[in-house]
Structure 1
Amino acid sequence: MKLAVKLFIFLVILVIAFVAVTVWKAGANEARAESNYPPEGQLLDIDGVQVHAVVRGEGPDLVLIHGSSGSTRDFTFALVERLAPDFRVIVFDRPGLGYTGTIEDPTIERQADLLGKAAAQLGAPKPIVLGQSYGGSVALAWAVNHPDDLSALVTLASPALPWTTGLSTFYKTLSNPILGPITAPLITAWVSRDRVTQGVESVFAPQSAPKGYGDYFGPGLTLRRASLRANAIQRARLLNEIKSLSLRYEAISVPMEIVHGDADTTVGLHIHSRPLAARLDQANLTVLEGVGHMPHHVAEDDIIAAIKRASHRAALH
């Protein structure tokens, strides 16, 4: 047998072995993440889709919707405990993330439809709806499409209007129908803890993540293959969805509180929240000086104040 043929066979064996180890390691990492971070709340059946909901406290109903790469744990880390004395807080995992199942064509509008039905099943037909980052876009879709199914709207650092920057290579690759299924297992299997920590810190910049947040949040849940793909596909489609939704914001009829940090480099204040507030008479804008993309962790008092203003404006308190 010629040396070239032997070398080719050896390389094929190496590739097969690497693929097998990657798939095994990805599965093991996913199983470990789900074992270490099980569902915090209850699992609902909404039109055949599993929806994970955490319910805490008493008072007017308040729904919290997390951003990209998130889960209920982003809010239950600290904010829910502070809100529970004054509100019945309902935190959802969005479709494809945490322990909520995937849905076909997971637009922000279809996500809002699903979570609205879940809230109604939990006895909250007209909650205050708060969304952070991508979750704020879902909250906006809820308010536009179902204006009678919420009492007030709160957005935190949320994409609201079209932007011009391109999609990152990370999201382009993972959302690609061919490259995504190849890349996701590699990330699930081989991403380092240091890289995960760096990613978390970059989202909080210029602030730092609160002590213990990384361990509590359970990034391994987001790094599951299906969640990586779902998150990337949603993010890749968001711009076109916002272009369409933003033409209909005048349909929003409830009191609206907008909170945004002026140091947010992920979702720009001057591109999104400032022009949106100028456009809608019922929108009250709070600008947090020096605050980045995670105000619900680094400026909790301001967020709670905005929620209470929304509640008072809606005559719930």
Structure 2
Amino acid sequence: MKDTLKKAATTTALVGGGLALWTALAASASEALVPADGAFVDVPGARLHYVDTGGDNPVIVLLHGIYGQLRNFTYALTGQLADHRLIVVDRPGWGHSTVEGDHPPIETQARMIADLIDALGLDRPLLVGHSMGGAVALAMALNQPSKIRGLALIAPLTQRMTAMPAIFRGKAPPEALRGLAAWTVGVPLTTLTGPAVSKQVFAPDPVPLDFGTRGGGLIALRPSSFQAGAAELTDANRALATMVPRYGAIRLPVAILYGRDDELLDPVSQGDVTAGEIPGATLTRIDGGHMIPVTHAADTARWLRTAASA
């Protein structure tokens, strides 16, 4: 019996060590392949990585979605908007932005982005949020409305979800287990399932072959990304439950864009319903899926240009 337990313990240690080594190597490789592109600014609780394209006003600040990074926008969209000054941000805890302590909830992330706006001396920029970044943008509209002049939400998460999307199941372990999971099964699981998950996130549009590097996709292969994703998947419904009843109080211009064939978030429940709850909000649909800033950049830019001029 003792020999059996000893062998089991040895096997567990070897497997755990191997997975931790896999994780460390994947994280190192991803950071080498997707290095920081811009500058850093310190705000209370975080050090934020951002790219400032320069250009003329009006200023637009762009926030990416879950498991994303600022290259989700610089892949194709920013090149379509060269006449604007764009501030493209790695959200707190994502990409090359770091945070102090645990991953911040949606409302705290909004406050950190508001602090970044102040630190950069921006005069009420238009705030763009894609996917989970849309929830962060809405939180700022509710809690720091004086910092921005309006919202442009691209395929945003705006309503509580009754069930977690199938592609994210298994990626939100209990908080007490997240650190262990991140350094053992999390990154290897992400590595193995990544191509299939990406295909579903982009569907029906194809995944660009260079999205891992040029689009920043590979930066998700780090334990910090696994933990950040688990935190946001767990916390999103809690945040939205407090936010949705307040949508009627938003007085900023709000424009929402969805791909007609989005397979990750439902354009009706996340788009139409929310547009009806926010006074004066508009909803536009274009061809494409969830990653339209990458796959339909020209159409997205055309819509965003209209939102910026409103």
Q: Is the TM-score greater than 0.5?
A: yes
Q: CA deviation at 1:299?
A: 2.1
Within the candidate set 215, 219, 223, 1:221 is matched to 219
Q: TM-score, normalised by structure 1?
A: 0.89
Q: CA deviation at 1:272?
A: 1.5
Query: 1:218 & 1:310 partners in 2: Cα distance?
Result: 26
Question: Which residue does 1:8 correspond to in 2?
Answer: 5
Over residues 189-213 of structure 1, what are the superposed CA-to-partner deviations in whole Å (9 max), with x where a residue is unaligned?
Answer: 5347563222211100011123421
List runs of 5+ in structure 1 lacking aligned partners: none
Q: Does 1:146 align with 2:144?
A: yes
Question: Is the 8 Å Cα contact of residues 62 and 128 (structure 1) preserved in structure 2?
Answer: yes
Question: Which residue does 1:304 correspond to in 2?
Answer: 301
Q: CA deviation at 1:95?
A: 1.6
Q: Secondary structure at the match of 1:270?
A: helix
Q: CA deviation at 1:298?
A: 2.2
Question: Which residue does 2:155 correspond to in 1?
Answer: 157
Query: 1:105 & 1:22 partners in 2: Cα distance?
Result: 23
Q: Secondary structure at the match of 2:172?
A: helix
Q: Does 1:31 align with 2:12?
A: no
Within the candidate set 65, 68, 72, 1:67 is matched to 65
Q: Does 1:235 align with 2:221?
A: no
The one-letter code sitting in structure 1 at the alignment partner of 2:59 is D
Cα–Cα, structure 1 residues 162 and 20, in superposed 2: closer, same or farther, change >3 Å?
Answer: closer
1:226-265 maps to which residues of 2 (within 5 A)?
226-265=224-263
Within the candidate set 77, 89, 106, 1:79 is matched to 77
Within the candidate set 74, 89, 93, 1:92 is matched to 89
Identity over aligned pairs, percent: 27
Question: Which residue does 1:51 correspond to in 2?
Answer: 48
When structure 1 is superposed on structure 2, of 259-268 and 7-16 the one drifting more is 7-16
Q: CA deviation at 1:86?
A: 1.4
Q: Secondary structure at the match of 1:272?
A: helix
Over residues 119-142 of structure 1, what are the superposed CA-to-partner deviations in whole Å (9 max), with x where a residue is unaligned?
Answer: 221121311100010001111111
Question: Which residue does 1:274 correspond to in 2?
Answer: 272
Question: Is the 8 Å Cα contact of residues 174 and 181 (structure 1) preserved in structure 2?
Answer: no
List runs of 5+ in structure 2 lacking aligned partners: none
Question: Which residue does 2:124 correspond to in 1?
Answer: 126
Q: CA deviation at 1:171?
A: 5.0
Cα–Cα, structure 1 residues 192 and 254, in superposed 2: closer, same or farther, change >3 Å?
Answer: closer
Question: Which residue does 2:115 correspond to in 1?
Answer: 117
Cα–Cα, structure 1 residues 211 and 157, in superposed 2: closer, same or farther, change >3 Å?
Answer: same
When structure 1 is superposed on structure 2, of 259-268 and 16-25 the one drifting more is 16-25
1:159-198 maps to which residues of 2 (within 5 A)?
159-166=157-164, 170-171=168-169, 174-187=172-185, 190-191=188-189, 195-198=193-196
Q: CA deviation at 1:257?
A: 1.2
The one-letter code sitting in structure 2 at the alignment partner of 1:63 is V
Cα–Cα, structure 1 residues 169 and 128, in superposed 2: closer, same or farther, change >3 Å?
Answer: closer
Q: TM-score, normalised by structure 2?
A: 0.91
Greater CA radius of gyration, 1 or 2?
A: 1
When structure 1 is superposed on structure 2, of 153-162 and 24-33 the one drifting more is 24-33
Query: 1:251 & 1:170 partners in 2: Cα distance?
Result: 32
Query: 1:88 & 1:236 partners in 2: Cα distance?
Result: 34
The one-letter code sitting in structure 2 at the alignment partner of 1:263 is D
Question: Is the 8 Å Cα contact of residues 171 and 233 (structure 1) preserved in structure 2?
Answer: no
Q: CA deviation at 1:111?
A: 0.5
Q: CA deviation at 1:242?
A: 0.8
Q: Secondary structure at the match of 2:200?
A: helix
Q: Does 1:292 align with 2:289?
A: yes
Cα–Cα, structure 1 residues 172 and 9, in superposed 2: closer, same or farther, change >3 Å?
Answer: closer
Query: 2:49 & 2:17 partners in 1: Cα distance?
Result: 32
Query: 1:170 & 1:210 partners in 2: Cα distance?
Result: 21
Over residues 137-188 of structure 1, what are the superposed CA-to-partner deviations in whole Å (9 max), with x where a residue is unaligned?
Answer: 1111111112211112100111212332246595565341233223222345
